[in-house]
Amino acid sequence: MISGTTRTCFVVADPVHHLRTPTSLNRIWEAQGDDAVTVAAHVTAAGLSAFLAGIRVNASVLGTVVTVPHKENAAALCDELGPNARLVGAVNVVRRTQDGRLVGETFDGLGFVAGLRAQGIEPEGQRVVVVGAGGAASAVAVALLSAGVRTLDVSNRTAPRAASLVERLHAAVPSGDVGTGLDRLPAATLVINATSAGLHPADVSPLPAAAFPAGATAADVVMSSSPTPFLAAAAAAGLRTHEGIHMLAGQTHLIAQFLRAS
């Protein structure tokens, strides 16, 4: 039942048609007996600042989950960042405190690693290529290095952006074997799409089927009711695929606990 005491949590994104987080969080609120509800918020990049300003002044709001394309911009609009968010420069959840301050954190990386392990894929020792260099890619890369992957390379359409991420990764995990580009793709055992490709019907895979290394696992951070172009291309090449829903499943309870800490 929705009443005057019900707290609201948003999931802010652009677009929102693919979102599964509202359903997942609402199941948690119901199971725990929490007087809370989660709904989608379709907000463009131009409106993000105003959206977060509205959360500041609304004491009925718990906060918001943050997803594409807002993770990095939302971090810059927070009053405080948790340790993971400071490290990767992005957030995927923002909590409103009782005095209207915004505290951001990211659980994408922890969720991704937990999702892999839940499906029997151990990150330790893997040779990884991450396609993309945004907020999700940063969080996933840090978590994978912390989990003990053997090598990790970042590929991005904008090479300086990939180089910037690799610099941060070297600083975060100095012992990690980290590089840029696709030179080590043929030897990769885990290839990850951390771009937004797959959110729109016209999207194509950032890697063609012929580029996928034989015997590897292809994983996506994009959640979709059907295989993303990336996973479809990987399946066509004979790879095992790992869907984005597993990253959400690995972190939903962590997000709920963080939001309820206010």
Closest CA to 24 of 1, 44, 5, 40: 40
In DSSP terms, 11 is beta-bridged to 40, 65
Cα separation of the two ends of the chain: 22
Residues 147, 121: contact at Cβ < 8 Å? no
Which one is catalytic: 7, 18, 70, 71? 71
Phi, psi (5° rounding) for residue 128?
Answer: -115, 140
Residues 114, 126: contact at Cβ < 8 Å? no
Phi, psi (5° rounding) for residue 191?
Answer: -115, 130
Percent of the chain that is helix, strand, coil (3-state, to 5): 40, 20, 40
Q: Give the separation between CA 11 and CA 128, rounded to whole angstroms.
A: 29
User: Element (H or E) spanning 29, and its range?
Assistant: helix 21-32
Task: Decide if 71 is catalytic.
Answer: yes
Token digits for 132? 């993309």
Q: Give the separation between CA 178 and CA 90, rounded to whole angstroms.
A: 20
Q: Counting every residue, how long is the chain?
A: 262
Residues 95, 261: contact at Cβ < 8 Å? yes
Catalytic residues: 71
